[in-house]
Amino acid sequence: MQVLCPGFAIDCLETLEEIALTNHARFLHAGGERFEYIPALNAGDDHVSALTELVLRHTQGWPEFDPAWDPARASAQQAAARSRHEQVRDARR
């Protein structure tokens, strides 16, 4: 049996302990003959490049990825919008 954990981008101690070791022992104890844990891609250059490409592709148009984006300015704009919202809400009461 070959086992992999596609929900994990990297192998962590929990994955290795529970899946690779504990379940391996259970499998053999139950009569299984061959158990192979397939490691995650971890921090290999190819994996990091693939994840980077996905992030860059799917964040196009996000203001935070614009080189001119200023978090302080964005925060001030949000506060101003919130204030305008409260003024309009209060005027309707």
pLDDT, tens digit, for every residue of 3-51?
988 777 788 888 788 888 999 999 999 999 999 998 888 878 888 898 8
Strands 36-37, 2-3: parallel, antiparallel or unpaired by DSSP?
Answer: parallel
CA angle, 85 as apex, 82 and 89 as ends, to 5°? 140
The closest of 3, 2, 4, 11 to 42, measured between CA atoms, is 11
pLDDT, tens digit, for every residue of 56-80?
999 998 988 888 999 999 999 999 9
Lookup: tokens for 68? 């001119």
Lookup: tokens for 59? 């964040």
Single pTM value for the model: 0.47
Bridge-partner residues for 37, per DSSP? 3
